[in-house]
């Protein structure tokens, strides 16, 4: 691979993929796991390859993976045998005929079936009754708490029902020492999406149009801005994640994977609970899922499908290693094992009520909604932008992105037709 340096990205990608694709006994496996979780996947693949399968797996961590996927799909060359995609990508990929159903794979390994996986993860790959993916995990928002600070301020009872409310947090206004805060604004866009579900709202209408500028979205921002205005949220522009690790924040709204980083901080006594909500009886944790998928290609042989099915069955049985990455493993066998219960994220599968709280958005234009929230949510919550103005801007942003995407797809179709 070193010899490819200096070439263009596209040429380098094409050479790599064509070279890899010539090995008929290797399953080329693309993932977007550019973080620490990539090492966990490497270990799982190594364990599988060490079992001496007929078809070994080559794990390729691919930055900007979706762009590269479209590149190889348009060229028809170098398409990976197996990939991991996110749940929110499935509807669009299916609409564009970019995915093959998992029907044959499931027939080859009969334990690859719905009852062996967490329902929310499995159904995120179902489109109109056809299963297009096999789930690896659910990864979602969580809220970590500092046990020492809860004791210091005498509010351990906030956790009696496992749901901290807006009202409870606001009760601490003016009660904290200087430099301490009730909560931070980490993964704020995910927190807002959880509130949308708490309020019974949605991000799309029945016709599939985006609904960002809604009463539920406004109410969510108003409630969160009240926390900021009360001076109990970490200041605008500050790294609230690090402030939690420094011991100055009671509640941190990170991801399930953040337990890895928190566990490495000396003297940080923490626990995990649900993202805060309006009422303790109605709570959600915004989630997504890493899903095994087959990109559409004529080059994947029947023999490789047998190898892929064997690999996915291995992952179903042995993915406890994936819990090391802070993920909620999708395999029921793993989730119900004694070893898994030692991981902090097992809290989210500790009861049916907890598992039901995990909400995966599968709206076909969800990536645009998420992008809009990432761009505007902090500014709106901290009063840098008026709420009504911000919601209108987000609605326009998503609608413009959808229109741009439609035009790009039309261009791709025209190019394919001309060829």
Q: What is the pLDDT of residues 28-71, one digit of tens each?
A: 999 999 988 999 999 999 999 999 999 999 999 988 999 999 99
Would the pLDDT of 11 be above 60? no
Question: Is 118:137 a contact under the CB 8 Å cutoff?
Answer: no
Residue-averaged pLDDT of the chain: 92
Lowest mean pLDDT among 132-146, 149-163, 244-258, 401-415: 401-415
Give the pair of three-digit tokens for residue 91. Answer: 């509807």
pLDDT of residue 405: 77
Q: Which domains can be identified in the chain, with CATH numbers?
A: 2-136+289-350 (3.40.190.10), 140-287+363-406 (3.40.190.10)
Q: What is the pLDDT of residues 317-363, one digit of tens each?
A: 999 999 999 999 999 999 999 999 999 999 999 999 999 999 999 99
| SS3 assignment for the chain | CHHHCCCCHHHHHHHHHHHHHCCCCEEEEEECCCCCHHHHHHHHHHHHHHCCCCCEEEEEECCCHHHHHHHHHHHCCCCCCEEEEEHHHHHHHHHCCCEECCHHHHHHCCCCCHHHECHHHHHCCEECCEECEEECEEEEECEEEEHHHHHHCCCHHHHCCCCCEHHHHHCCCCCCCCCCEEECCCCHHHHHHHHHHHCCCCCECCCCCECCCCHHHHHHHHHHHHHHHCCCECCCCCCHHHHHHCCCEEEECCEHHHHHHHHCCCCCCEEEECCCECECCECCEEEECEEEEEECCCCCCHHHHHHHHHHHHHHHHHCHHHHCCCCEECEHHHHCCCCHHHCHHHHHHCCHHHHHHEEECCCCCHHHHHHHHHHHHHHHHCCCCCHHHHHHHHHHHHHHHHHHHHHHHHHHHHHHHHC
How much of the chain, in percent, has pLDDT values that exceed 90? 90
Would the pLDDT of 416 be above 70? no
Give the pair of three-digit tokens for residue 224. Answer: 């969160």
pLDDT of residue 297: 95
pLDDT of residue 414: 34
When pLDDT is averaged across residues 129-139 and rounded to a whole number, the result is 98
When pLDDT is averaged across residues 127-142 and rounded to a whole number, the result is 97
pLDDT of residue 83: 98
Provide the residue count of the chain.
Answer: 419
* pTM reported for the whole predicted model: 0.89
pLDDT of residue 291: 98
pLDDT of residue 21: 44
Q: How confident is the model at residue 406 (pLDDT cuts 50, 70, 90)?
A: low
Would the pLDDT of 272 be above 80? yes
pLDDT of residue 19: 39
Q: What is the pLDDT of residues 181-194, one digit of tens each?
A: 999 999 999 999 99
pLDDT of residue 408: 55
Q: Please tell me the distance from the alpha carbon of residue 4 to that of residue 42, in angstroms, as a whole number.
A: 23
When pLDDT is averaged across residues 294-314 and rounded to a whole number, the result is 97
């Amino acid at each position: 691979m070193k010899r490819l340096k200096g070439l263009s990205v596209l040429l380098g990608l094409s050479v790599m993929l064509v070279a890899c694709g010539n090995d008929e006994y290797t399953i080329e496996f693309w993932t977007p796991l550019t973080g620490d979780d990539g090492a966990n996947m490497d270990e799982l693949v190594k364990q599988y390859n060490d079992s001496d399968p007929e078809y070994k797996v080559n794990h390729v961590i691919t930055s900007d993976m979706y762009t590269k996927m479209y590149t190889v799909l348009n060229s028809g060359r170098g398409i990976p045998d197996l990939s991991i995609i996110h749940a929110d990508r499935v509807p669009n990929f299916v609409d564009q005929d970019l995915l093959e159903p998992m029907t044959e794979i499931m027939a080859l390994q009969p334990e690859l079936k719905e009852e062996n996986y967490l329902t929310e993860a499995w159904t995120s790959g179902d489109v109109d009754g056809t299963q297009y993916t096999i789930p690896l995990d659910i990864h979602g928002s969580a809220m970590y708490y500092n046990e020492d600070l809860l004791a210091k301020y005498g509010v351990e009872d906030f956790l009696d029902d496992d749901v901290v409310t807006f009202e409870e947090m606001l009760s601490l206004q003016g009660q904290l020492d200087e430099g301490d805060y009730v909560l931070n604004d980490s993964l704020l866009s995910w927190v807002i999406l959880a509130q949308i579900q708490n309020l019974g709202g949605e991000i799309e209408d029945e016709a599939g149009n985006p609904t960002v500028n809604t009463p539920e979205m406004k109410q969510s921002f108003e409630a969160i801005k009240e926390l900021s205005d009360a001076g109990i949220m970490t200041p605008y522009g500050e790294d609230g994640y690090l402030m939690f690790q420094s011991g100055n924040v009671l509640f941190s709204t990170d991801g399930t994977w953040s337990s890895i980083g928190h566990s490495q901080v000396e003297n940080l006594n923490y626990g995990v609970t649900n993202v805060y909500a309006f009422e303790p009886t109605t709570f959600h944790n915004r989630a997504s899922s890493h899903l095994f998928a087959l990109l559409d290609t004529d080059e994947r042989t029947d023999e490789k499908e047998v190898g892929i099915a064997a690999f996915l069955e291995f992952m179903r049985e042995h993915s406890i290693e994936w819990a090391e990455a802070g993920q909620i493993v999708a395999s029921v066998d793993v989730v119900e094992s004694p070893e898994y219960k030692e991981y902090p994220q097992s809290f989210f599968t500790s009861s049916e009520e907890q598992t039901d709280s995990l909400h995966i958005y599968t709206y076909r234009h969800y990536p645009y909604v998420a992008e809009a929230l990432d761009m505007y949510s902090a500014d709106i919550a901290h009063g840098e932008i008026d709420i009504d103005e911000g919601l209108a801007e987000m609605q326009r942003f998503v609608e413009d992105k959808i229109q741009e995407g439609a035009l790009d797809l039309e261009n791709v179709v025209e190019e394919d037709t001309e060829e």
